[in-house]
């Protein structure tokens, strides 16, 4: 079978229940028109219409031939029905889900035993045959799904006196391998300030973070700080910078909590308004949200910039429940910024937007304002790993009910810029 490593549909679907190994076959047993298939009885219904199949008229001595068929054919057909062939589906990476005509049947490597007649055209009117195509969908989180067709057809079989016809499909391979391509739909790279001239020169990268209330911890995205030799946190409200190290990270959900070396660089706790973490269940589609960050790094300056929008969906790409889809315009450098609702509650952490280059090259479209934020619930889980987790908010949320401009004034001192040097080794 053709390797399905290229994106998109490879080929068509099947009337077989792989869980039971039983075919839903069209078994015809009529009283008229028994006889062998004509030489052209396997005309494809694709390039050549079904009605144009070459049909043979009555032959001299037709009935003696039928008598011979009635004696020999049933035994041959019974032998064919007793045989099975094993079909194997493998993938790279392994563990991908396999949907068989829309029904989840297992994970790769996946095997199923099919009747031998699935691989052949019917010979007699009473022969079993496969009456629909077999289409597999192979998919795994984080990868582009593939469709794989195990059959060719449809074909038409017509008996000699043209009194009966069958539409059938044929399985074309016993082994298929699928290479799944990692889905580069998210543009997660923070701003690159200086591109390396050679593979050994470091490049400057930059993103956004925010200070947790009453602590020396800063939250950002894991992809912002991954591979950095040194991490620097710059605090615009105090005009100071300090080194930081990764205290704890969650690579699966792209979160990192940094611990700064000099807590005084963050400014006095009193200068930062505590903010609560909002419940994910309370957020609805259409609600207004805003983020503060450093889009495009030094190009825009050292002052945090506002980006406002709405919750477009409570799920991410392919219904990922970990993220919100937001309409806030984002640029490289916004990664790691906080997402607040109208009450000043932290509801998410900005993580990514759709990779416009990937979609333009592969689908001919340029996505507009399709961006995502990790739900704050996952940050809550990560905080429990810290030895001294900070507390959020006051008994009463002081930000609730305030106009957005006043909320931004109170929250801005908590927004910091995260940067560092990363060496990219190019083979």
**Which SS3 state, helix, strand or coil, does residue 358 take?**
helix
**Weakest-pLDDT range from 1-15, 232-246, 328-342:** 1-15
Q: What gap in Å lies between CA 249 and CA 226, rounded to an integer?
A: 10
Most confident of 266-275, 276-285, 334-343, 348-357: 334-343
What's the rounded Cα separation, in Å, for the pair 405 and 33?
A: 85
What tokens appear for 378 in the block? Answer: 């996952």
User: Residue for token digits 């998410």?
Assistant: 348
List pLDDT tens digits, range 36-49. Answer: 333 333 333 333 33
Give the domain ranges of the chain: 16-179, 186-423
- pTM of the full predicted structure? 0.56
Is the confidence at residue 258, as pLDDT, over 90? yes
427/424 Cα distance (integer angstroms) = 10
CA–CA gap between residue 404 and residue 399 (Å, rounded): 9
Burial label, 375 (beta-carbon count in 10 A; 0-12, 13-18, 19+): buried
CB atoms under 10 Å from CB of 425, counted, come to: 8
pLDDT above 90 covers a percentage of the chain that reads 29
User: 320 falls in which pLDDT band (50, 70, 90)?
Assistant: confident
Region 102-126: mean pLDDT is 88
Phi, psi of 331 (to 5 degrees): -130, 160
The domain 186-423 is classified under which CATH number: 2.40.10.120, 3.50.50.60, 3.10.580.10, 3.40.440.10?
2.40.10.120
Predicted pLDDT at 87: 94
CB neighbourhood size of 239 (10 A): 10
- CA 165 to CA 228: how far, in whole Å? 69
Give the number of other Cβ atoms within 10 Å of residue 146's Cβ.
Answer: 23
């Amino acid at each position: 079978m053709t390797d399905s490593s290229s994106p998109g549909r490879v080929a068509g679907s099947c009337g077989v229940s792989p869980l039971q190994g039983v075919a839903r076959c069209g078994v015809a047993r009529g009283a008229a028109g028994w006889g062998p298939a004509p030489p052209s009885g396997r005309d494809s219904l694709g390039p050549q219409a079904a009605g144009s199949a070459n049909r043979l008229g009555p032959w001299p001595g037709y009935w003696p031939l039928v008598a011979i068929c009635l004696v020999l054919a049933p035994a041959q057909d019974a032998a064919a029905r007793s045989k099975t062939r094993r079909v194997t589906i493998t993938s790279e990476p392994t563990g991908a889900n396999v949907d068989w005509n829309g029904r989840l049947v297992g994970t790769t490597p996946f095997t199923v035993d099919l009747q031998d007649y699935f691989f052949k055209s019917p010979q007699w009117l009473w022969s079993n045959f496969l009456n629909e195509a077999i289409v597999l969908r192979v998919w795994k989180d984080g990868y582009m799904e593939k469709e794989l067709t195990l059959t060719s057809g449809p074909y038409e079989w017509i008996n000699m006196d043209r009194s009966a016809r069958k539409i059938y499909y044929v399985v074309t391979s016993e082994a298929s391998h699928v290479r799944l391509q990692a889905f580069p739909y998210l543009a997660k790279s923070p701003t690159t300030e200086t591109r390396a001239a050679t593979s050994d020169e470091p490049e400057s990268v930059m993103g956004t973070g925010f200070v947790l209330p009453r602590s020396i911890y800063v939250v950002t995205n894991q992809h912002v700080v991954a591979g950095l030799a040194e991490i620097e946190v710059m605090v615009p409200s105090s005009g100071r910078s300090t080194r930081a190290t990764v205290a704890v990270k969650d690579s699966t959900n792209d979160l990192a909590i940094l611990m700064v070396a000099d807590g005084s660089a963050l400014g006095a706790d009193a200068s930062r308004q505590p903010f609560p973490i909002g419940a994910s269940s309370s957020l609805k589609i259409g609600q207004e949200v805003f983020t503060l960050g450093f889009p495009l790094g030094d190009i825009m300056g050292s002052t945090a910039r506002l980006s406002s929008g709405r919750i477009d969906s409570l799920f991410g790409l392919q219904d990922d429940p970990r993220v919100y889809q937001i309409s806030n315009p984002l640029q490289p450098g916004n990664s790691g910024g906080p997402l607040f609702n109208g009450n000043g509650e932290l509801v998410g952490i900005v993580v990514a937007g759709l990779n416009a280059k990937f979609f333009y090259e592969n689908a001919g479209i340029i996505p507009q304002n399709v961006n995502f934020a990790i739900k704050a619930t996952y940050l809550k889980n990560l905080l429990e790993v810290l030895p001294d987790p900070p507390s959020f908010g006051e008994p009463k949320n002081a930000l609730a009910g305030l106009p957005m401009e006043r909320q931004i004034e109170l929250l801005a001192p908590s927004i910091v810029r995260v940067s560092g040097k990363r060496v990219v080794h190019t083979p």
